[in-house]
Amino acid sequence: MKIGIYGQFYHENSGIYIQQLLETLDRNKVEVVIEKKFLELINLHDDIDKSYSHFSTFEELDESYDLFFSIGGDGTILKTVTYVRDLGIPIAGINTGRLGFLATIQKEEIKDSIELILNKKFYISPRSLLTIETSPKNDEFGVLNFAMNEVTVSRRNTTSMITVHTSLNDEYLNSYWADGLIVSTPTGSTGYSLSCGGPVITPDTESIVLTPISPHNLNVRPLVIPDNQEVKLKASGREDTYLVSLDSRIHTLKNDTTVIIKKAPFKINMVVLEGNNFLKTLRKKMLWGEDKRN
């Protein structure tokens, strides 16, 4: 078995859990390859007896990997996705951050959880993504023109709202007078979209959510559409430019630029341990339906 490992930060008190992970994988004779910068962080804080192979870019990965561990929070998983891309390698998130809605493996349970994974006691939860194109064409996004949580159009360098002209399959929908507009996947429905009043959507639902950010139109509410629809956005405002973010990656576009958002042609495979699921995570992490009568 071959496993890749990625992490962004070396969280305080997380060293013991990283050590447990590496020892468990080594004991099970697993080939481990660690992202180069994260490996440097590990070596800086811990005395690692074994020498590990490393990778730095997507091009160094291939289908020979059986699994990928993301060590951190949900933001680390989103960064891991930029490495895995369309390779189909299952991602298991180990939560050493705060909430950890996507990173469902708790660091305190790391030994038992890894044993379950190595013994194939998990299932795959496929997650849809969004891709972005622009007209006129803008090469700023490069190959990272996708997002697993959301694509967001928002104002830049101003306190004034922007107008986001929106159409679905080339049919005019609405002009949002707001701070911006979030176009979210079901996975992203529990993130920024939820904070702005959007609905929670289960991961297997084939849909996209349009959630305005602080809309000036009081009769505008979040809208759920099928994920086979193409969303076109064009923003205008007092500034000459506006912001487009793909998960946490931010870009600046000119006001005359049209953004075209569609469902990506590939999915990300998330590892879910047996006995766990989205609804349990919703109740545990979001305190969904928390009521003393329950």
- pLDDT, mean of residues 14-37: 89
pLDDT at 232: 97
Q: Could you tell me the CA-to-CA distances from 96 to 11, 18, 67, 105, 287 in Å, in that order? A: 7, 10, 19, 9, 20
- pLDDT, mean of residues 15-23: 86
- Give the integer Cα–Cα distance in Å for 82 and 80: 5
Residue 165 scores a pLDDT above 90: yes
CB of 205 within 8 A of CB of 164? no
Residue 13 scores a pLDDT above 80: no
CATH class for the region spanning 129-265: mainly beta
Residue tagged active-site, from 46, 47, 66, 74: 74
Where are the domains positioned within the chain?
Answer: 2-120, 129-265
Residue 98 scores a pLDDT above 80: no
Query: In 3D, which of 224, 216, 229, 219 has the Cα closest to residue 164?
Result: 216
pLDDT tens per residue across span 111-160 = 889 989 998 999 999 999 999 999 988 787 888 999 999 999 998 877 88
- Give the integer Cα–Cα distance in Å for 282 and 200: 9
Strand, coil or helix: what is 260?
strand
pTM value?
0.91
pLDDT at 12: 66
Mean predicted lDDT score pLDDT of the chain:
90
CATH class for the region spanning 2-120: alpha beta
**C-beta atoms surrounding 243 within 10 Å:** 18
- pLDDT, mean of residues 233-262: 93
Mark the binding-site residues for NAD(+), compressed into ranges: 74-75, 79, 149-150, 179, 190-195
Mark the binding-site residues, compressed into ranges: 74-75, 79, 149-150, 179, 190-195
173: part of which helix (H) or strand (E)? Answer: strand 171-178
DSSP letters of 151-219?
Answer: EEEE--S-SS-EEEEEEETTEEEEEEEESEEEEE-TGGGGTHHHHTTPPP--TT--EEEEEEES-S-TT
74 assigned to active site: yes
